[in-house]
Amino acid sequence: MPLSKLKPGSLIDGFTVIEEAHKGGMARLYSVTHPDYYFPLLMKVPDMSAGTDPAMIVGFEMEQMILPRISGRHVPRFVANGDFSRQPYIVFERLPSRSLYPLLEKLPLPAEEVISLGQRIATALADLHRQHVVHLDIKPSNILLRDSGEAVLIDFGLARHLDLPDLMQEEFRLPYGTAPYMAPEQILGVRSDFRSDIFALGVLLYFFSTGKRPFGDPQRMKGLKKRLWRDPPPPCALRPDLPPPLQEVILRCLEVNPARRYPAAAQLALDLSDLSAVQLTARAEKRRQDGWAEVTKRRLNPDPIELLKPGAATAALANAPIILVALDLEATSGEVADAMRLTVGRIMARSPGARLACLNILKIARIGLDSDLDEQGHNKHAVRLGALKSWAAPLQYEGQTTCHVLESTSPASAILDYARDNDVDHIVMGARTGAQRRALLGSVAGEVASKAPCTVTVVRVRREAEG
Sheet architecture: strand order including 89-93: 11-12, 15-23, 27-33, 41-46, 89-93, 78-82
* Domain residue limits, the chain: 11-93, 101-317, 321-466
How far is it, in rounded angstroms, from Cα 330 to Cα 370?
17
How far is it, in rounded angstroms, from Cα 258 to Cα 361?
35
CB 41 within 8 A of CB 33: yes
* 376 vs 132, more confident: 132
Tell me the fold of 11-93: Phosphorylase Kinase; domain 1 (3.30.200)
- Considering only CA atoms, which of 150, 147, 167 is closest in space to residue 158? 167
Q: Could you give the dihedral angle defined by the CA atoms of residues 133, 138, 142 and 143, in that order, rounded to the nearest 10 degrees? A: 90
**Tens digits of residue pLDDT in 9-35:** 999 999 999 999 988 878 899 999 999
pTM equals 0.86
In whole angstroms, how large is the CA radius of gyration of the chain? 25
**Tens digits of residue pLDDT in 237-264:** 999 999 999 999 999 999 999 999 999 9
User: Quick one: pLDDT at residue 437?
Assistant: 44
Tell me, letter by letter, the H, E, C secondary structure of 220-234: CHHHHHHHHCCCCCC
* 369 vs 283, more confident: 283
pLDDT confidence bin for 4, thresholds 50/70/90: low
User: Quick one: pLDDT at residue 50?
Assistant: 59
How far is it, in rounded angstroms, from Cα 328 to Cα 362?
9
Q: Which CATH number is 321-466's, of 1.10.760.10, 3.30.70.330, 3.40.1190.20, 3.40.50.620?
A: 3.40.50.620
User: Quick one: pLDDT at residue 208?
Assistant: 98
**Tens digits of residue pLDDT in 189-215:** 999 999 999 999 999 999 999 999 999
Tell me the fold of 101-317: Transferase(Phosphotransferase); domain 1 (1.10.510)
Q: Percent of the chain at pLDDT above 90? A: 55
